[in-house]
Structure formats: C-alpha cells, structure tokens
Amino acid sequence: MKKNKSIIAALAVIALIVGLSCCAKEGPMERAGKKVDKAVEDIRK
C-alpha cells in the first residue's frame, strides 16, 4: 500500500513538471534576460 502511494506521488510530480515545462511561454522578462546575457557574452569577447 505504501509503495503504491509513492508511485502515484512520483507520477503526479513528473506529470506536473512536464505540463509546466511544455506550457511556459517566453515573457518580456525572459526576453530581457536573454538580451542581457548576450550583451555580457559580447563584452567578454
């Protein structure tokens, strides 16, 4: 019985992670962060 609950909990966590990662759209903060990262890389070169 305890093993079944652990398996169900693990499957629920995996489903949640997959669901959130697939649905995430890039917002303005993510785009700004990418621009900053690119600028920092350019400066390092």
Sequence ranges of the domains in the chain: 2-44
Token duo for residue 26: 């890039």
**Three-class secondary structure assignment of 1-45:** CHHHHHHHHHHHHHHHHHHHHHHCCCCHHHHHHHHHHHHHHHHHC
Each residue's pLDDT tens digit, 14-43? 888 877 666 667 778 888 999 999 998 888
pLDDT for position 10: 85
pLDDT for position 28: 83
pLDDT for position 36: 92
Question: In this structure, what is the dihedral angle of CA atoms 35, 38, 44, 45, given to the nearest 10 degrees?
Answer: -130
CA distance linking residue 18 with residue 21, whole number of Å: 5
pLDDT for position 5: 82
pLDDT for position 37: 92
pLDDT for position 8: 84
